[in-house]
Structure 1
Amino acid sequence: MEPPESAKPPDFDSAFREQLLDLLTWRRDVRHFKRDPLSEGAVERLIGIACLSPSVGLSEPWRFVLVEDEDRRAAIRACFEACNAEALSAQEPSRADRYARLKLAGLNDAPCQIAVFADHETEQGHGLGRQTMPETIEYSVAIAIHTLWLAARADGFGLGWVSILDPADVRAALDVSEHWRFVGYLCLGYPEEATETPLLERQGWETRRAPDKVIFRR
C-alpha cells in the first residue's frame, strides 16, 4: 500500500508575513475591558485554536477552566487583592507610588475569565521529552496561552494575564485536582482601547530592550 500523499503546505507570502508581524506587534496585555459579552462559542473556538500548540511528547497537558461562578470569581479577586497588597509593600519606596497606580488586573470587567493549569499526571505522551526536564509540561501550557492570546487579538479581543495570585489559593477556589499546577489566570473580552505600546511602557514602569541586547554567541 502506498503512503498517503502529503498535503501541500500553504504559501505564506510577504503580505501574510507583514500581517503576522502586525499581529505580534499589536498583541497587548489588556487590563481595561468593556463589559460586553463575547459572542456565543467564541471562547471555545479560541481554545480550540490554542490546542493546536506544540507540546512536549504530544502530551497536550493544558487544562482550561472557564470561571463563571460569581462566588469563585470573588474568591479569585480576594486572592489577587491580598497578593497585590503584599507586592506593593515589597516595592522600593521610589517605585511604590508608581506601582500603586498600575491597574494590574481586569477581574472586575472582563466578561470571560479562564484559569489555565498544567496536568502533571497526564498519561498522554507517555513521558516523552520530560524525564530530565519535567517543567516542559508548564512550557507547553505557556505556549498554548500565547497561541490563544494571538488568536484572540486577531479576532479583535483583548487578553490579560493575571500573575499576582497564589497558586494554592486559586486551585482551592476552583476545586481542581492537586496534580494540576496553576500556570495563568486570563481575562478575555473586548478591550477599551487598542495601542501598539505596552501599558507598562506607557506608564513609565519599564521599556523594551533592543533584540541585540538579549543575543549571545559562544
Structure 2
Amino acid sequence: MQSIQISESERDAFYKVLHNRRDVRREFKPDPIPQDVLMRVLEAAHHAPSVGFMQPWDFILVEDLAVREKIKVGFEVAHAEAAQMFDAERRETYRGLKLEGILESPLGICITCDRQRTGPTVIGRTANPEMDLYSAVCAVQNLWLAARAENLGVGWVSIIHHDTVRQALGIPDEIMPIAYLCIGYVSDFHEKPELEKAGWLPRADLQSLIHHDQW
C-alpha cells in the first residue's frame, strides 16, 4: 500500500487556501473559465467523501442567461420573504447586503443529490438516512476549496426555494437540489468574510466551541 506524505509546503498551501476561501457576491469578472480549470474543480468535487461510496451528486452547469435570470427572480422572491423575518433595524442592514452574483458570474453550478443512486439500502446510511445529503455538501466544500486554489470565486445562493431551482433547471422531483453556486474569476478577494466585515456577526472563539468527553 502506497503512503502519500504531505510536505510542509503543501500543508501550508492547503491552509492558505482554506483560510482565504470567501463567499463571493459582487466581485465577479465576466471572463470565461477555461475548460481544463473547470474540469479540475469538478474532479475535486467528485472526489468528496460519500457514504457507502454512493457518489450521489450531479453537476448542472448553467451558462444560459435566460436560465440564470429565472434563478435571479427566484432569489429576489426568497430575499424579500427573508427580509420580513428580521426586526426593523436588522431588516435595513439585510437589504443593504449583496447576497448573490447570479448574473455577474459567468457560470452557475447546481450540485444535486440522487438519494436512490445505489438503491434503498446504503452502507452507512442505515441509522442516519440523511448521510447522503451530507455527502453532497462535502462535494460543495471540495469544489469551493479547489476553486479558491484556482483563484476562482464562489458564492452559494442559499436564499432560494428548492422548487424554484428544480423548475428553472428541469430537475426531476426525486432529485434534491443541494447548492446553486456562482463561480468565476474575481477582481479581488476580501480579507475577511463580508458578513464579519459588515458587523453582522463576529467569528466565534474556537475555544468556546470545544468540549471534552461530554457536552
TM over 0.5: yes
TM-score, structure 1 length as denominator? 0.92
* CA deviation vs aligned residue, 1:162-191 (integer Å, no higher than 9, x gap): 100100111111111211111110000012
In structure 2, C-alpha distance between the alignment counterparts of 1:63 and 1:13, rounded to whole Å: 33
- Residue 75 of structure 1: CA displacement? 1.1
Question: Partners of 1:31 and 1:138 in 2: how far apart?
Answer: 25
Please give the root-mean-square deviation of Cα atoms over the aligned residues, in Å: 1.5
After TM superposition, give the deviation of residue 70 of structure 1 in Å. Answer: 2.5
String of CA shifts for 1:67-101, please: whole Å, max 9, x gaps: 12332211111100000011112111121111011
Q: Aligned pair 1:130/2:121, yes or no?
A: no
Q: What is the identity, as a one-letter code, of the residue corresponding to 1:30?
A: V
Which residue matches 1:16? 10
Aligned mates of 1:40, 1:161 — CA distance in 2: 21
Partner of 1:106: 101
Gap regions ≥5 residues in structure 2: none
After superposition, the C-alpha distances for 1:33-82 in whole angstroms (9 at most, x for unaligned) are 11111113322221111111110000000111111233221111110000
In structure 2, give the amino acid aligned to 1:72.
Answer: V
Deviations 1:175-209 (A, max 9, x none): 11211111110000012212331011111111111
Counterpart selection for 2:75 from 66, 80, 95: 80
Q: Which amino acid aligns with 2:22?
A: R
Q: How many residues align?
A: 212
Q: Which residue of 2 aligns with 1:187?
A: 182
2:20 to 12, 20, 26: 26
Q: Report the Cα offset of residue 26 of structure 1.
A: 0.4
Tell whether the 8 Å contact from 1:162 to 1:184 is kept in structure 2 after alignment.
yes
Sequence identity of aligned pairs in percent? 36
Question: Whole-Å Cα distance in 2 between the matches of residues 91 and 117 of structure 1?
Answer: 29
- What is the DSSP-based 3-state SS (H/G/I as helix, E as strand, rest coil) of the residue aligned with 1:82? helix
Q: Give the Cα–Cα distance (whole angstroms) in 2 for the partners of residues 179 and 131 of structure 1.
A: 19
Aligned partner of 1:37 in structure 2 is 32
Report deviation, 1:124. Answer: 6.5
Q: Determine the structure 2 residue equivalent to 1:70.
A: 65
1:121 alignment partner, SS class: coil
SS at match of 2:69: helix
* Paired AA for residue 13 in structure 2: Q
Deviates more, 1:195-204 or 1:136-145: 195-204
Show structure 1 runs of 4+ deviating over 4 A.
Answer: none
Paired residue secondary structure (1:60): coil
Larger CA deviation: 126-135 vs 78-87:
126-135
Tell me, yes or no, if the aligned pair for 2:63 and 2:108 is still in contact at 8 Å: yes
Which stretch of the first structure deviates more once superposed, 192-201 or 57-66? 192-201
CA distance in 2, matches of 1:195, 1:161: 16
Question: 1:120 Cα deviation (Å)?
Answer: 0.8
101-110 or 187-196: bigger deviation: 187-196
CA contact (8 A) 2:22 2:154 kept: yes
SS at match of 1:41: helix
- Residue 61 of structure 1 aligns to which amino acid in structure 2? P
Q: What secondary structure sits across from 1:129 in the alignment?
A: coil
